Amino acid sequence: MAKKDTQLPDLPEPYEYVDTLGSGSYGVVVLAKDATVKDPEKAKVAIKIIRAPQKMQVQAVARELMIHGAIKHPHIVPVHRCFSTEEHIGVVMEYIRGGRLFDMVNNVGPFPEAKARWIFRQLMDAVRYIHKDMNSMHRDIKLENIILADAKKQWPTIYLCDFGFARTRGPQFGPTISCVGSPNYFAPEILLRNAKNQRYDGKKADIYSCGACLFVMLFGFYPQGVVTKDRKAGKIDVDSIYIEIPKVQRQRLHPGHKEVPIGPECLNFLSQLLEPDPEKRLTLEGIWKDRWFRDNTHRRRRKVAAVLGR
């Protein structure tokens, strides 16, 4: 068991501190165990601890719990319960053991199309549920917020997490004005706003962020590292990436990784996801109709391999 940070609060029963998983401006995420569960693996939980909640922080946490706590989806990290003290709020979640997708890309380099598509489909299934069933927007979709359940498998299962910036959309909530999320995954309409109070559609921005995740999985660097002739318009010319962009400008997560070949259907799909004009950007309906997205070649190969292995 790792040594506990003295600044961390005592966890309520039946939880016992095991290790610190990560930290940020919001607070910290710790690994803990439920003392009432006998199986040591099943006893593990992840607890997000938010420090010293002020009025706005309390509202944000309440919004996160309202949205995340109501979600039941196979590709979204489940929330078990919450607790609060005078100085902290805790969110108890299922512990997913495989680590972050960001770390996997950073360690192994760009993915082949089939693997990137496998992961992207799961992500889009979660996002479709958030947008359609929950009428909400995540607003911080990034590889760092995607957790792997089985990182060593060729076809891993993923979970979307961290709903700290999520927001419900309804009659009382119009297009958002908040500049939240992570700059490397920002949609152009957020980065290129003329005024801080200029509104944008958070759901369409989520689609762009999903495209940025797919881009990083395939190329190993961020879309914002791509410099093109239409830079001012936020245009990313994915068809010309290999020709126009010197390697020194690519801002790779890990410079030693090799490129993987990307086909024209995939590049076309990416260009529609990363369309700078949100009104022209690919919609959820368009994503599910896309030929590259629907390709099932790898699934057929898995079935054949399973039959031959009998």
Peptide bond into 255 cis (omega under 30): no
48 is in an annotated binding site: yes
| Distance in angstroms (rounded) separating the CA atoms of residues 219 and 110 | 5
Residue type, 99: G
Residues known to be catalytic = 140
Residue 197 in tokens: 């109070």
| Distance in angstroms (rounded) separating the CA atoms of residues 158 and 256 | 26
Residues flagged as binding site: 48
Q: Which residues are annotated as a binding site for ATP?
A: 48
